[in-house]
Structure 1
Amino acid sequence: MFKNALGRFRFMGILEGSSLLILLFIAMPLKYWFDMSNAVTIVGTLHGYIFLAYIVAILYAMIAVKWPFRFTIGAVLSAFIPFGNFILDSRLKVFENPSGEPL
């Protein structure tokens, strides 16, 4: 999975999508239902750093894979939609051979 730019991007997308879901469905309820505001502070900070790394991975993949600009915009927008990165990842599997190398 880490052998090429597309694999690294897919990994960062899964990591970023997971951190968003943890923030929305675990940390936010802990804050508002159980008055544990530190959960959002910690998870939100981690999510922010992971999001920045995801943006760097998008830029790297855009240059290495030579994506069209509209695909780059779609990758950025998918980060703001819960489960968006997982849907994008399922569509990116089409670009790889069974051996894991990009087409």
Structure 2
Amino acid sequence: MMNTALGRFRVIGIIEGISYLVLLLIAMPLKYYLDFPAAVKIAGSLHGLFFVLYILALAHVTFKDRWSVLKVIGAFIASLLPFGNFVLDARLKKEQ
């Protein structure tokens, strides 16, 4: 799976999606309900790193597989929505 641009993009997308959910569903409640702001700092930093990797992988797969502008915009929007990367991965898996 990691030997193609699309495969790397899918793996990074899943990792980025998980980090986003951890940030939203675990770190944010820890910060606001248990007064533990370090959780957001750590999860947010990791999510930021994974998001940058996601954008780089998106650029790579765009040029390598000649994705259309609409497909690239859809992949970017999917990264902003909770569970969006998982829906995108399911669609990409069908294409592959």
- Same fold, TM exceeding 0.5? yes
In structure 1, the residue corresponding to 2:3 is in which secondary structure?
Answer: coil
- 1:94: Cα distance to partner? 1.6
1:61 match? 61
TM-score (norm: length of structure 1): 0.91
CA RMSD of aligned residues (A): 0.5
2:82 match? 82
Q: 4+ residue stretches of structure 1 with deviation over 4 A? A: none
Which structure 2 residues correspond to residues 41-56 of structure 1 after superposition, within 5 A? 41-56=41-56
2:14 is matched by which residue type in structure 1?
I
Gaps of 5+ in 1: 97-103
Q: 1:7-45 CA distances to partner (integer Å, 9 max, x unpaired)?
A: 000001001000000000000000011000000001101
Determine which structure has more spread, i.e. the larger CA radius of gyration.
1
Number of matched pairs: 96
Q: 1:25-81 CA distances to partner (integer Å, 9 max, x unpaired)?
A: 000000011000000001101100110010000000000111101100110111110
1:73 match? 73
- 1:3: Cα distance to partner? 1.4
1:30 is matched by which residue type in structure 2?
L
Identity of aligned residues (%): 50
Choose between structure 1 and 2: higher helix proportion.
2
Gaps of 5+ in 2: none
- 1:95: Cα distance to partner? 1.8
Give the whole-Å Cα distance in 1 for the aligned partners of 2:94 and 2:68: 16
TM-score (norm: length of structure 2): 0.98
